Amino acid sequence: MDSEGDVALSTDLYELTMAAAYYANNEESQATFELFVRSYPRNRSYLIAAGLQQALEYLTRIKFTERHIEFLRKHPNFVAVKEGFFEYLRNFKFTGNVWAMPEGTVFFTNEPILRVSGPIIEAQIVETNLLSIVNFQTLIASKASRVVESARGRGVVEFGARRAHGPESALLAARASYIGGCIGTSNVLAGYKFGIPTYGTMAHSFIMTYDSERDAFDRFARAFPSNPAFLLDTYDTLEAAKTAVSLGVEPSLVRLDSGDRYSLSRKVRRILDDAGMKSTKIFVSGDLNEYSIDQLTKRKAPIDFFGVGTELVTSRDDPALSGIYKLVALEREGKMAFKVKTSKGKFTVPGAKQVHRRISRGMIQEDTIALDNEKPPPNTKPLLSEVMRTGQLVTNIPTLDQSRERARSELQSLPAEYRSMHGSVKAPVRLSTRLQRLANSLWKNANR
């Protein structure tokens, strides 16, 4: 899908109807919106921020073309909208300021990870696409970190393109999985676009193309003499392993894609070892997730690599991140107002905020969410930094490898209870006294 030039329309219609209403009302307030996650996906107790690079690219590129404007002008909702608004769209650029947690940052519920301030129309229109970008990659980076943790040091390769939610989703899932700790992906485009290492062996169809498994292995080895990799489970895994070791060439790896991966990996390892092929790696795939990998590595199955597809790229056990983007402050005619929503179960915390993290002896102790102009609590570091000012990038975006390294090192500072595979524990997060007081008073007096 070629939607690059059409990214301005990648938004919910209500963002544009609101924009028209703001325009009609000469609404020139400066608004601040914050993106945060209200609750964890199932069994999670932390998240890993991802998607900021695509979010910033989007903010830099958003532009309404004449064809877009023509489309809107004819839309039934816009028939009564005055020409001035379309003229406004014609000149639209994102000119706001953005603060964000760098990709790879470990964060918790209710912490703002992205803060957008600017003319209210601009800050509003970008809501939908920012959420779509950040929610998905954060979901997958977080899931990947769980899978990688369950692998206990063995390499995990993202394998899920065919079950991802479309080709772009596959590409972004590969990126987010890499941030979350995967060593690479099967997705060639992710290698090409993002420099992520790509992995691949052969499919069952290659074996089935030839009259015998031996013939198929032989032919593959001839094409890749230095590093042939064989898929063993097309017909019978152990027979295939015996064939593989009898070819006179040491495979770089063998892959098992079905059956009882624990007992098969042990038996295949023995066949390889008995044939003196101790450096041949065992690569296991097929509907794996953090729960099944945890069992395999706990039992010390002799597996060197895991390929994880569907379960990773769809975050199958909980496939949506409930990130939201809420108005928290408004500056109109020089006066600042804090904003809250008090819908049942959906209270928001007012004001532009910063998150201060206290780390002691290398471990995360507590995060304090405070107003952005509060004095930081002692011995803390702020998690949000300025990334865009008046629509321009003001920082070097970290490389993908730097983001991956950040996630790795932050996860090491995360106490074990938060990294548990099962159940979620309360986020180590508090509001500053001043923020709590402000929130209480606004919640009580929510405007009608």
Restricting to residues 106-165, which ones interact with its own copies according to CB under 8 A?
Answer: 120, 124, 127-129, 131-133, 135-137, 159, 161-165
Contact (Cβ atoms closer than 8 angstroms) between residue 250 and residue 279: yes
Contact pattern from residue 311 through residue 330 relative to its own copies, giving x for each residue in contact according to CB under 8 A and a dash for the rest: ---xxx--xxxxx-xxx--x
Stretch of 4-12, 99-107, 379-387, 391-399 contacting its own copies, by CB under 8 A: 4-12
Strands (E) across 224-332 are located at 229-231, 253-256, 281-284, 305-308, 323-332
Quick one: which H or E segment has residue 32? strand 30-37
Q: Which of 48, 56, 81, 196 binds its own copies (CB under 8 A)?
A: 81
Contact (Cβ atoms closer than 8 angstroms) between residue 257 and residue 285: yes
Strand 353-360 versus strand 363-371 pairing type: antiparallel
Site for its own copies in 13-52 (CB under 8 A): 13-18, 20-25, 27, 29, 31, 33
Query: Cβ contacts of residue 86 below 8 Å, gap of 6+?
Result: 69, 72, 73
Tell me the C-alpha distance between 153 and 202, whole Å: 25
The answer to whether 336 contacts its own copies (rule: CB under 8 A) is: no
| 368 bridge partner residues | 356, 430
Tell me the C-alpha distance between 262 and 272, whole Å: 16
The answer to whether 171 contacts its own copies (rule: CB under 8 A) is: yes
Q: Nearest distance from residue 78's CB to its own copies, in Å?
A: 9
Site for its own copies in 48-77 (CB under 8 A): 54, 68, 71-72, 75, 77
Burial class for 47, CB neighbours closer than 10 Å (0-12, 13-18, 19+): buried
Q: Nearest distance from residue 423's CB to its own copies, in Å?
A: 20
Site for its own copies in 339-398 (CB under 8 A): 339-346
Site for its own copies in 191-230 (CB under 8 A): 191-193, 198-206, 208-209, 211-214, 219-220, 222-227
Closest CA to 401 of 189, 199, 179, 183: 179
The token duo for 438 is 């402000």
Contact pattern from residue 265 through residue 304 relative to its own copies, giving x for each residue in contact according to CB under 8 A and a dash for the rest: ----------------------------------------
Total site size for its own copies, rule CB under 8 A: 123
Stretch of 272-280, 295-303, 333-341, 377-385 contacting its own copies, by CB under 8 A: 333-341
